[in-house]
Structure 1
C-alpha cells in the first residue's frame, strides 16, 4: 500500500520520540511504500483532483540522516491507499483550509485518517463537553462575570485558552481569587475570545494521563505526564516527566465509552487526556506518545496502529 503522511517538515522530526516517525517505521517494515508532504503542498485546481507534490522516502535506520528521498512528483491524493493527516497543532486557519482540501480528496476516493470533517467537528478542548458525565465541572465562556461565579462555586480552578497546546496559557487560581480578573482579561482578550474553566483536579500530581484509543480499542498502557517542581502542567512540552503505566479501571471505562463513538465518526486515532478520574481533553489532530509507551511498557503501539489502518482500508 502507498501511504501519504501529511505532516510537519521531515527535517524537524525528533525521531527518538516522534509518533509519526514510529508509524512510518512500522509501515515500511511491513513493505508499505511511504510518501510525505506538508499541508502547504496540497493543491486543488478547478476541474482537477486534489493533489500534492510529495516526496517518496525510504527510512535509512540512521539517527540523523534518517530518511532518503527516492522521488519527488505531483500525485492526486486518491492514488494513495491511505492519507494520514499528522500535522501538529495549532488548529489555525491554514489547518482548517487543509481539512477542506482533504475532504474534497475524500469525495474523489481518497481514504483520509483522521477524517477531515471529524477533525473540524472535535475541537480538542470543546469536544469533552459532549461527554460531561466523565469530566470535572467545566465552563466555556468569554464572560468574566460567569468565570467569577464559577470560581465562587468551585474555589480552586484552572483556566485555559481553547486553542492552546502543550500546556500553553494554562493558569490556576486558588480560593483567594488572586489575579483572577487579570487572568481572564489576558485569556478572553477583553471579552472577545472564548476560554475554558475547570475545577482543579489535585490528582494532577500523579500525572496527566494520555490514554490512546486506536480503531475504537483501548491501548492497555497510558503515559502519565507528571508535573515537575512547582509546575501545575504535566505536558511534556512544559517539562513534565512521562511515565508509562497500565490504564486504570476508570481510564478504561472512559476510553471504552468514547472509543467506539469516535471511531464511528472517522477518528481512527484518539488521545484522551485524563487527570484522576476525569476526562480533560480529546486529542484528534496529531496524538502522540507511541514511542514512550512502547519503550517503557513493551507494548507495540505502532503495530496496533498499522494493524487498525490496514483493517480500515480493506
Structure 2
C-alpha cells in the first residue's frame, strides 16, 4: 500500500514516544510506502483534485533522538486520493483550521480516497463533548456557559474539576474543593464572562491511581491500558505535564466500557480511538491523534502498531 500521513512537521517528532512514528516504522517493515504532508499545505482548485506537496520517505535504522530519522526518496505535488489510505494524524487542538482540513479530506473521500479516522467522524466527535452520548459510563458532568449553574454544581458535589472544551494535554484544568477557593476567578478565566462553554465534572478520587488511556482499534480493545499517574502535588496525569505512564492490564470495567463503545465508534469510521477512564468513568473520547503505542509496547511486549496496521490493511482490502 501507499500510505500518506497528514502530520505536523516530522522535524518536530519525538521519536522515542511518538505514536505516528511507530505506525510509519511498522508500515515500512511490511513493505508499504510511507509519505507525508502537512495539513496547511493541502489545497483544492476547481477542476482538479485535493492535492498537497508530498514527500515519500524511508525511515532510517537506529536513528538518534534529535537527528533526522528519515530520508526523502521523492517529493512533489500529488492528489491525496491517489494513495491507498490517508492517515489524519495532526495533533490537537481541534481549532478552525483542523475543522477546515477535515472538509478537504471529506472531498478526498468524494474523489475515491480512503481517510482514517474518517473526517466526518472527526467533526462529529469532539473529544470532550463526545462523552455526552455515552452518559451511562460517565460521572456527574455539566456543560455550560453559566457561572450560576457552575456554582450550583459545586454546591451539590463539593469537589469538582473544571476544564475548557478545546484544551489538550491537561491545559486549563482546575480543581476546586469544598471550600470553593478561587471558584469565581476560575469561572471567569474559563467562561470568558459567559462567552465560552466549560465542562465541569465531579472530582474522581481514583485519579491518584492514574488517568487510564484505553485504546480501541477498529472496535477491538488493546489488552493493556496506559495509566497516566499524577506526580507530586499535580492533579493531572497527562504525560505533557509530567504524569508517569504505567501500562497495566485492563480492568473488568475497562473491558465493559470498551465492549459498549468500540463497535459503535468503529462503525462510524473511527479506526483508532483513545478512551480516557478514571476509576469507573469515561472522562474523554480521543479521536484526533490518540497516542500511547510506544509506552504500552515497551512495558508489556504487546505490539500495538502491528495491531493497528493489521486493522488498516483489513479496512483497505475490504474496499
The answer, yes or no, to whether TM exceeds 0.5 is yes
What's the counterpart of residue 44 of structure 2? 44
Partners in 1 of 2:288 and 2:136 — Cα distance? Answer: 23
Does 2:283 match 1:280? Answer: yes
Superposition pairs for residues 116-131 of structure 1, below 5 Å?
116-131=119-134
**Residue 301 of structure 1: how far off its partner (Å):** 0.1
Note the alpha carbon deviations across 1:235-260, whole angstroms, 9 max, x for none. Answer: 00011000000111101110110000
Partners in 1 of 2:73 and 2:204 — Cα distance? Answer: 50
What's the counterpart of residue 81 of structure 2? 78
107-116 or 58-67, larger mean C-alpha shift: 58-67
**Residue 41 of structure 1: how far off its partner (Å):** 1.3
**Residue 47 of structure 1: how far off its partner (Å):** 1.6
What's the counterpart of residue 232 of structure 1? 235
What's the counterpart of residue 57 of structure 1? 57
Give every structure 1 segment of 4 or more consecutive aligned residues whose post-TM-superposition deviation is greater than 2 Å.
Answer: none
| RMSD over aligned Cα atoms | 0.5
Question: Which runs of no fewer than 5 residues in structure 2 stay unpaired?
Answer: none
60-69 or 99-108, larger mean C-alpha shift: 60-69
Partners in 2 of 1:65 and 1:138 — Cα distance? Answer: 45
What's the counterpart of residue 311 of structure 1? 314
Q: Is the 8 A contact 1:103 1:116 kept in 2?
A: yes
What's the counterpart of residue 72 of structure 2? 69
Q: Across the two proteins, how many residue pairs are aligned to each other?
A: 314
Equivalent position to 2:213, from 199, 210, 213: 210
**Residue 65 of structure 1: how far off its partner (Å):** 2.1
| TM-score (ref. length: structure 1) | 0.99
Q: Is the 8 A contact 1:41 1:54 kept in 2?
A: no
**What secondary structure sits across from 1:40 in the alignment?**
helix
Partners in 2 of 1:304 and 1:252 — Cα distance? Answer: 17
Question: Which runs of no fewer than 5 residues in structure 1 stay unpaired?
Answer: none
Q: Is the 8 A contact 2:11 2:68 kept in 1?
A: no
What's the counterpart of residue 272 of structure 2? 269
Equivalent position to 2:91, from 88, 92, 100: 88
Does 2:3 match 1:3? Answer: yes
Partners in 1 of 2:253 and 2:215 — Cα distance? Answer: 14
Partners in 2 of 1:152 and 1:47 — Cα distance? Answer: 59
Note the alpha carbon deviations across 1:263-283, whole angstroms, 9 max, x for none. Answer: 000100000000000000000
**Residue 289 of structure 1: how far off its partner (Å):** 0.3
Partners in 1 of 2:208 and 2:231 — Cα distance? Answer: 9
**What secondary structure sits across from 1:43 in the alignment?**
coil
**Residue 186 of structure 1: how far off its partner (Å):** 0.2
Partners in 1 of 2:155 and 2:286 — Cα distance? Answer: 30
**Residue 123 of structure 1: how far off its partner (Å):** 0.4
**What secondary structure sits across from 2:167 in the alignment?**
coil
Partners in 2 of 1:46 and 1:283 — Cα distance? Answer: 34
Partners in 2 of 1:175 and 1:73 — Cα distance? Answer: 59
Note the alpha carbon deviations across 1:17-66, whole angstroms, 9 max, x for none. Answer: 00000000000000000000100110100121101110000001222221
Q: Is the 8 A contact 2:118 2:270 kept in 1?
A: yes
Does 2:193 match 1:184? Answer: no
Partners in 2 of 1:37 and 1:49 — Cα distance? Answer: 15
Partners in 2 of 1:80 and 1:253 — Cα distance? Answer: 36
Equivalent position to 2:299, from 296, 301, 307: 296
Partners in 1 of 2:308 and 2:59 — Cα distance? Answer: 18
**Residue 191 of structure 1: how far off its partner (Å):** 0.5
Does 2:200 match 1:197? Answer: yes
